[in-house]
């Protein structure tokens, strides 16, 4: 996330990974927050049709954001987690 507004636009999401700076910014905001992601507020989609596994995999692989960029983000996240754990061990926190 690049700013608190992006996070607020996902109000109602069960889990998010936030930077400490954005978490601190959100903690300091005393304004109201409307839940945006609420299954009760979603209008039914008349044109929705189920997708089988083969179609899902094709669509997933056809979308660079869903495949290449997501995979790269996950690898970077794992690398950062390892670096954080090493830092905490070196500092004697864990």
**Using 50, 70 and 90 to split pLDDT, how confident is the model at 58?**
very high
What is the number of domains present in the chain? 2
CA dist., res. 69 & res. 76, Å (int):
10
pLDDT of 53: 96
Shared-domain flag, residues 57 and 89: yes
Model pTM score: 0.48
Q: What percentage of residues in the chain have a pLDDT greater than 70?
A: 100
Helices and strands, number each (H, E), in the chain = 4, 0
pLDDT of 14: 86
Shared-domain flag, residues 59 and 80: yes
Domain enclosing residue 33, as ranges: 1-43
Shared-domain flag, residues 55 and 92: yes
Per residue in 24-52, is it b (16+ CB within 10 Å) or e — as a string?
A: eeeeeeeeeeeeeeeeeeeeeeeeeeeee
Shared-domain flag, residues 37 and 53: no
Shared-domain flag, residues 27 and 53: no
**Using 50, 70 and 90 to split pLDDT, how confident is the model at 4?**
very high
């Amino acid at each position: 996330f690049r700013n608190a507004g992006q996070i607020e636009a996902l109000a109602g999401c069960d889990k998010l990974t936030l930077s400490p700076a954005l978490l601190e910014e959100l903690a300091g905001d005393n304004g109201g927050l409307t839940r945006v992601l609420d299954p009760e507020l979603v209008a039914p989609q008349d044109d929705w049709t189920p997708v089988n596994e083969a179609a899902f995999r094709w669509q997933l692989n056809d979308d660079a954001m869903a495949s290449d960029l997501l995979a790269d983000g996950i690898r970077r996240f794992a690398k950062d987690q390892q670096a954080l754990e090493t830092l905490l061990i070196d500092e004697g926190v864990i």
